[in-house]
Amino acid sequence: MAEVQEKGTISIHTENIFPIIKKFLYSDHEIFLRELVSNAVDATQKLKKLSSLGEFAGEAGDLKIEVSFDKDKKTITVSDKGIGMTAEEIKKYINQIAFSGAAEFVEKFKDKTDAKDIIGKFGLGFYSAFMVSDNVEILSRSYKATEDEAARWVCAGSTEFELFTAKKETRGTDVILHINADSEEFLDEWKLKGILEKYCKFLPVEIKFGTKEESVEDGVDSEGKPKHKTVTLDQIINNPSPLWTKAPSELKDEDYLKFYKELYPFSEDPLFWIHLNVDYPFNLTGVLYFPKVKNDFELQKNKIQLYSRQVFITDEVKDVVPDFLMMLHGILDSPDIPLNVSRSYLQSDASVKKISQHITKKVADKLAELFKKDRKDFEKKWDDIHIFVKYGVISDEKFYDRAKDFALLKNTESQYLTFEEYKEKVKPTQTDKDGNVIYLYTSDAGKQDSFIQAAKARSYDVLLLDGVLDNHFINTLEQKLEKVHIKRVDSEIADKLIDKDEKMESVLSKEEQDQIKSVFEKAIANKNMTVTVEPLSPDELPVVITMSEFMRRMKDMAKLGGGGGYSFMGNMPDSYNVAINGNHPIVQKMLKADAEDQKVRLAKQTYDLALLSQNMLTGAELTNFIKRSVEFVS
């Protein structure tokens, strides 16, 4: 064994640094491999830089990083052929600089539980190795060495270390982990490969992990047919030059689609994408894809991956990407974001906020460009992308300002119009006596069809707003659009949807109206139903049941967790308006009926018909209605 050159104590002011590392990082212990491979990449890239500057005149050779393991010896080794370290450099970088913040570290984190705020912040990345190891060795030969002289550092997870002189044939560093009994799960090919593919998939230096056999052509046989042979090749687990590191001018559509399939193998092709490439006032590269999401957006979140210099950080990017764009897919890479950061860091960091604002702007610019370039194609995509745009309009003031010129409203005739276009379209027919433009909409075109048809009979237009966000979207539009009120098409009877001066004359006297109202109140016998008799067209339904716009919105907000002043509404019973069409022939028939019970029975039948038209008739009430209907036609 080599002679011990030096024994020493790592220069820190406390003895309990390693137990703290192990304790606080245990929940995230697989990142040790990411940290060690990232260090190997740094060493390799430094050699490339020195070579390009003419400060390293030797042959760089094969610069692959190799990760290997020995199940019998219980070791994992990360090897590189980078710049390496001398004994003095090991003492400096491993024993001193890595622990320059140790005292602060211990003081700050001894009572904390957020592991992600520890590694990296104090230069402790290398020491994550002790989460899984009984002891760690470093064998390193500097690029400055003239022979095979090397240094060997050994530490058993305490503040004491040993430094030996050693021999090493090749330039670079081997980090050898002697895996502890609690971490033997990492001595598994598939486990290690999975971690490497998760964290190191796009590192800029090739990473070898084992070998693979492939069949290759080997000349031709006597008949001129190709011969094959099996060769053993290095298994490279990463793509060192991923798409987002290239200039957009170098790429074609098929390149973006191929990369999308690499990221999301089982997904449909995206609608379009945005290539980000910013170097001032912060560094940011990446590609964001717009997937086909329809309304099922909750299942699509956490599809954006965050990298720092091609090292995977996380796919929880809530504070980097605006919330309304969390449904996008793709990659973001920024060296301005440390490898390990806490949520509180992301929320308060100025660079992160600027990145988030820039992403919002780039998305809005891309959508505006697509709208102007080919509106018909944009309209075809709208049903897939409207959820992004509406969420942005609701949640981001600056995005609304950019989106208001390309955001679309879709009506029941499948026409798509901008906010301004739609207002101009309905203004002539849907302006009330106070000068407010009334937008009508349906949240369920099938269920509310009779109301839609009644509105159309008056030449009113009806918007289709049936998405999961549309309750909030409607409220936002009313706040933003001047003198615009928005009502669901079934919130009033057709004649009252838009309050105008012209009214239909009633064929009933005041006494007859009171009589009809009394009959229906007996038939309904429900204090949550407010009965009125209205002078409607004879062509209208005999009974129309509606809920006021205000009441329904409050209840909808309560269901969606609106909180605050809305939460109590969820416990209140539904209350409806029952409008009796006083000009309908059935009302005349009711007035002429001889017995009071005949009038009530007829009123009950027409009321149940109105309930049935809105899927509000169930259980015993539905059974009784069917029996009564049979009796009527018998």
Question: CA-based angle 223:227:232, to the nearest 5?
Answer: 170
Residue 332: closest CA among 273, 376, 271 = 273
Instruction: Kindly report the CATH number assigned to the domain that includes residue 258.
Output: 3.30.230.80
**CA–CA dist 575, 530 (Å, integer):** 8
8 Å CB contact between 101 and 7:
no
For every residue of 103-133, DSSP letters joined together read: HHHHHHHTT---GGGTTTTTS-GGGGGGGTE
- Give the β-pairing of 416-418 and 437-442: unpaired
Q: Which residues contact 41 (CB under 8 A, 6 or more apart)?
A: 65, 80, 203, 204, 205, 311
Answer yes or no: do 181 and 316 share one domain: no
Q: CA dist 14 to 20, 254, 296, Å?
A: 11, 56, 52
Q: Which residues contact 292 (CB under 8 A, 6 or more apart)?
A: 268, 270, 271, 384
Q: Which residues contact 430 (CB under 8 A, 6 or more apart)?
A: 437, 438, 439, 440, 460, 461, 498
Per-residue buried b or exposed e for 580-601, using 16+ beta carbons within 10 Å of the residue's own CB: bbbbbebbeebeeeeeeeebbb
- Domain tally for the chain? 4
**CA–CA dist 270, 283 (Å, integer):** 26
If DSSP codes are grouped into helix, strand and coil, which group holds residue 17?
A: helix
| Helix intervals (H) in 164-252 | 189-199
Answer yes or no: do 438 and 530 share one domain: no
8 Å CB contact between 11 and 96:
yes
Tokens of 48: 């490339």
Instruction: Kindly report the CATH number assigned to the domain that includes residue 20.
Output: 3.30.565.10
Tokens of 75: 């070791």
Answer yes or no: do 9 and 115 share one domain: yes
Residue 118: closest CA among 130, 134, 106, 136 = 106
Answer yes or no: do 144 and 13 share one domain: yes
Answer yes or no: do 247 and 364 share one domain: yes
Burial (Cβ within 10 Å: 0-12, 13-18, ≥19) of residue 447? middle
8 Å CB contact between 236 and 196:
no
Note the pLDDT of residue 54. Answer: 86
Note the pLDDT of residue 143. Answer: 93
Low-confidence residues of the chain: pLDDT under 50 = 1, 13-14, 25-26, 100-103, 105-106, 112-123, 563-564, 566
Q: What is the pTM of this model?
A: 0.76
- Partners of 164 in the β-ladder: 4, 152
How far is residue 178 CA from its own chain's centroid?
39
DSSP state of 576: E
pLDDT digits (tens, 9 = 90+) for 240-257: 999 999 999 999 999 999
Answer yes or no: do 610 and 567 share one domain: yes
Note the pLDDT of residue 108. Answer: 53
- Decide if 503 is inside a domain: no
- Partners of 384 in the β-ladder: none
Tokens of 630: 């049979």
- Partners of 4 in the β-ladder: 164
- Partners of 211 in the β-ladder: 234
- Decide if 315 is inside a domain: yes
**CA–CA dist 268, 252 (Å, integer):** 18
Instruction: Kindly report the CATH number assigned to the domain that includes residue 453.
Output: 3.40.50.11260
Residue 556: closest CA among 443, 480, 477, 449 = 443
pLDDT digits (tens, 9 = 90+) for 280-300: 778 899 999 998 875 555 555
- Give the β-pairing of 207-220 and 437-442: unpaired
Answer yes or no: do 448 and 588 share one domain: no
Answer yes or no: do 185 and 308 share one domain: no
Q: Which residues contact 483 (CB under 8 A, 6 or more apart)?
A: 435, 436, 437
- Decide if 563 is inside a domain: yes
Q: CA dist 545 to 327, 371, 466, 590, 609, Å?
A: 38, 41, 20, 19, 10
- Give the β-pairing of 437-442 and 484-488: parallel
**CA–CA dist 474, 485 (Å, integer):** 9
Answer yes or no: do 149 and 266 share one domain: no
- Decide if 395 is inside a domain: no
- Decide if 394 is inside a domain: no
Instruction: Residue 441: give the domain boundaries.
Output: 407-497
8 Å CB contact between 131 and 151:
no
Q: CA dist 275 to 262, 355, 466, Å?
A: 16, 14, 32
8 Å CB contact between 288 and 263:
no
DSSP state of 501: S
The last residue of one of the domains, among 189, 209, 229, is 209
- Decide if 389 is inside a domain: no
- Decide if 282 is inside a domain: yes
DSSP state of 506: P
Answer yes or no: do 489 and 532 share one domain: no
pLDDT digits (tens, 9 = 90+) for 454-507: 899 889 999 999 988 898 899 999 999 999 999 999 888 887 888 876 777 888
Instruction: Kindly report the CATH number assigned to the domain that includes residue 587.
Output: 1.20.120.790
- Decide if 222 is inside a domain: no
The last residue of one of the domains, among 443, 464, 497, is 497
pLDDT digits (tens, 9 = 90+) for 151-204: 999 988 777 889 999 999 999 999 999 999 999 999 999 999 999 999 999 999
Residue 339: closest CA among 551, 119, 554, 192 = 119
Answer yes or no: do 483 and 544 share one domain: no
**CA–CA dist 119, 32 (Å, integer):** 9
The last residue of one of the domains, among 162, 193, 209, is 209
Note the pLDDT of residue 96. Answer: 66
Amino acid at 548: S
Answer yes or no: do 126 and 99 share one domain: yes
**CA–CA dist 210, 192 (Å, integer):** 11
Note the pLDDT of residue 102. Answer: 43
**CA–CA dist 387, 389 (Å, integer):** 6
Note the pLDDT of residue 345. Answer: 55
Tokens of 536: 């409607």
